Structure 1
Amino acid sequence: MTVTAQPGVPPIGAVIYAPGNPPERLLADFAADLLARGFKVGGLIQHTQRAEDGRKTDMTVTELDTGRTLSIGQSLGKASKACILDSQALAEASGAMRRAVEGRADLVFVNKFSKSECEGQGLASDMLAAVAEGLPVLTAVPGVLIGEWVDFTGGRTDLLPPTWAALWRWWGPKHLYADMAQGVGEAKVKRVVVGLNWTMVETEDGVGLAQTPERGTPACLAAPQAGDRAGGALSELAALVRSNNPFDVALGVAACNAHYNRFDLEAERDNGLDSFGRPEGEAVVIGAFPSVEQRLPGIKVIDRRPGPGQYPEEAAETLLPAAETVIITSATLANRSLPRLLTLARDSRVALVGPGAPLTPRLFSYGIEVLSGLIAEDMDGLARVVAEGGGAKDLKRFCRPATLRAPIP
């Protein structure tokens, strides 16, 4: 059975598992990874202790906000076949659920959906309260209770296999902007240059680039806080990736790149267009890179202003799901179209290529296999090119190419 959550409602993820094999470690590791990246997670993670014969000897839950571990099991003896759940102890642990809702957690973990929740007991009301508040929820559901779970959620659920990749795919590329910004440190901004084509942010440790919004967008009317950007904290500038103002988003992306594309970063010097060699299967490029059709014969090119033989951006809806390899221009990061493209290309090998590509392994979790961008070597020369409206080819004169590849699983 495949059930997908309806659009416009908070995502409710259910990791489906076989009897006796709950995904407790998987969910605990996922929660820990999100916490390490700066996301606010709440709720409960369960740990089950078993005897050598497989019999449950205890169950504990860990509160994600406090780290406190509570026992929710009771000793019934070796001969007992009854459920060892201590309902009163679980009721005490449910405080973590209420705190997650009150604190507007980015993701609420529920240790599992069991027969107690089927009967409206356990954590059923807390789970529904989180959903009613518009918060995403993730839990574990035994395969034998899929029907009851779908009824409980009214079909507003995503059924997930118990794999790391499935969890990240469900969490989704829509979170990559917050993820990038949360990793940026407190370096001081030395210089900000906004040119016709590119936006540049410089610190003592690195320089970041992002494509400047096109003329005609609201960003070109007036730059917020112009003249006051330099001298502040890089993390504050990076937080602008969450803005609805295209100008601010470009500044935020450039600030993120100034943190990640640092001068001392060790990376390959490959050209990003060669990320997958000469594709043998269906291959798509997002962005009309110069001479890309000659470099990669047979490739399908999608661009906002398609030339002869190229496809309009609407073609991504049909071309990307069928593609084996996809190369995406980093301009999609600044114009906020990247999350949708990554969702469409979820079954493809993906490379993000261009001067505005952030060189950080954080993005590998969102389905990107190769990141290929630039690391500045002559900051003054680069600033002049940006200020004078130079293009990507001009930027390369003052930078070195740099490519990161995701580890082979």
Structure 2
Amino acid sequence: MPPAPQSCPPAIGAVIYPPGKPPEALLARFAAQLTERGFRLGGLLQDTLRDASGRKTNMTVTEIDTGRKLSIGQSLGKDAKSCILDSQALAEASGSVRRAIESHADLLFINKFSKSEMEGEGLAGDMLAAVAEGVPVLTAVPGVLIEEWTAFTGGQTELIAPSLAALWRWWGPERLYADLANGVEDAPVKRVVVGLNWTMVETETGLGLAQTPERGTPGCNAAPDAGRRSEAGLKALAGLVHSTNAFDQALGMAACNAHYNRFDLDLPDGNGLESFGVKGGGTVVIGAFPGIAERLPGAKVIDRKPGPGQYPEAATEWLLPAAEAVIMTASTLANRSAPRLLRLARFARVAMVGPGAPLTDRLTSYGIEVSSGLIATDPDGMARAVTEGGGAKDLKRHGRQATIRRAAP
């Protein structure tokens, strides 16, 4: 399928919460997961302190970039039912927010949207400044202030349920490429091969594949440093997933897979096509896998060049949202159509299948339950097959198919 334009979710996400149940621990957990994945975060995380009776006694914020904790609550005395916001203390804490904007952080956390922001005070100006600079913002909004929040953002926001799964859905599969590249450890590159059908990157510990884009695909340009690509480290090659050159994007995906699909990876064999056992028309398959009609009778097959009984690419718009299970060729990662397809298939169980599928649990956060890829067992044979224009069946002679599944909750 051809590359699809990437559309990220609205720049401001708001976790909506009921009275007395601010999602502070949830946001802290999400921030910790993103940090562990290598994303650059900034801003403030709030912690509300209460006494044994449940009375609010103080509010603190933690600067994500420094770890410094600041009190932003102002006590009204022991007989008061609560504490109030200390505007001066919040102004001091806002330095962390401004640093995140200046450094163009991957995500800015604003502790909450309250009456202060509703009136244009507090961190209201910082939120709008972040959006103007292209920095996505995540905050918490009390349910009683939804109308005020919508007016403040002009409706350019996404309301998020207070759950980790909902936060990852908002974060979006468009960021899957950055996530994969972030996890790659640097290593010397032994060999880079760009064949007619497949691109290959090899290191001492692994070999990765990605489908080579067809010549003439928009964005395909000759590599300015051809013949020296292997001189770059694996981390640098993986960073090419962010390139606007389709050939470089494929090389970046192959480099990512060289890290994740290691020779010593201990995973069960399997090709993933029969991952879910969904019968009949409940399964939608992206890509005309050989023998798919026999292996998954009744499945709806979508392909860029549909054969008899198959559907054209446009059918993804109405077939994927209603599917129970989706089997997706891993070539959708290389050609950048995967994020759009994953959003359409957000209600289905999804398996990614093919030589270019990364064998990593990083995929599960983006809705991919099963990833079934290739682990090379004969790197030299694999390189010959790629060089000579081999297809997927030729590659499989020089590797074994392995599958990684999302762990049970």
Q: Check whether the contact 2:75–2:83 (CA below 8 A) recurs between aligned residues.
A: no
Which moves more between the two structures, 45-54 or 83-92? Answer: 83-92
| Alignment CA distance shift 1:8-1:107 (3 Å) | closer
Q: C-alpha separation between the residues in 2 aligned to 1:17 and 1:168?
A: 17
Q: Check whether the contact 1:60–1:73 (CA below 8 A) recurs between aligned residues.
A: yes
Q: Check whether the contact 2:173–2:366 (CA below 8 A) recurs between aligned residues.
A: yes
Look up the match of 1:3: none
Which moves more between the two structures, 364-373 or 220-229? Answer: 220-229
CA-CA distance at 1:8 after TM superposition = 8.7
Specify the code of the residue in structure 1 equivalent to 2:26.
L
Look up the match of 1:31: 31
Deviations 1:187-226 (A, max 9, x none): 1000011111111100000000010111323676523311
Specify the code of the residue in structure 2 equivalent to 1:97.
V
Look up the match of 2:123: 123
Q: C-alpha separation between the residues in 1 aligned to 2:219 and 2:42?
A: 36
Identity of aligned residues (%): 72
Look up the match of 1:101: 101
| Alignment CA distance shift 1:223-1:131 (3 Å) | closer
Specify the code of the residue in structure 1 equivalent to 2:45.
I
Q: Does 1:78 align with 2:111?
A: no
Q: Does 1:135 align with 2:135?
A: yes
Look up the match of 1:361: 361
For the residue of structure 1 that corresponds to 2:216, the secondary structure is coil
Look up the match of 1:4: none
Following superposition of structure 1 onto structure 2, how do residues 284-363 of structure 1 map, counting pairs within 5 Å?
Answer: 284-363=284-363
| Alignment CA distance shift 1:294-1:9 (3 Å) | closer
Q: C-alpha separation between the residues in 2 aligned to 1:281 and 1:93?
A: 55
| Alignment CA distance shift 1:147-1:219 (3 Å) | closer
CA-CA distance at 1:408 after TM superposition = 1.6
Q: C-alpha separation between the residues in 2 aligned to 1:45 and 1:242?
A: 29
Q: Check whether the contact 1:10–1:135 (CA below 8 A) recurs between aligned residues.
A: no
Look up the match of 2:208: 208
Following superposition of structure 1 onto structure 2, how do residues 2-401 of structure 1 map, counting pairs within 5 Å?
Answer: 10-81=10-81, 83-217=83-217, 222-279=222-279, 282-401=282-401
Q: C-alpha separation between the residues in 1 aligned to 2:193 and 2:139?
A: 46
Q: Check whether the contact 2:285–2:301 (CA below 8 A) recurs between aligned residues.
A: yes
Specify the code of the residue in structure 2 equivalent to 1:105.
A
Which moves more between the two structures, 201-210 or 82-91? Answer: 82-91
Q: C-alpha separation between the residues in 1 aligned to 2:90 and 2:223?
A: 53
Q: Which runs of 5+ in 1 are unaligned?
A: 1-6
Q: Check whether the contact 1:41–1:109 (CA below 8 A) recurs between aligned residues.
A: yes
Root-mean-square deviation (CA), in Å? 1.4
For the residue of structure 2 that corresponds to 1:272, the secondary structure is coil
Q: Check whether the contact 1:15–1:139 (CA below 8 A) recurs between aligned residues.
A: yes
Deviations 1:101-146 (A, max 9, x none): 1111111110001111112111111111112222211100111111
CA-CA distance at 1:82 after TM superposition = 5.1
Q: C-alpha separation between the residues in 2 aligned to 1:219 and 1:385?
A: 26
Per the normalisation by structure 1, the TM-score is 0.96
CA-CA distance at 1:281 after TM superposition = 5.8
For the residue of structure 2 that corresponds to 1:321, the secondary structure is coil
| Alignment CA distance shift 1:220-1:101 (3 Å) | closer
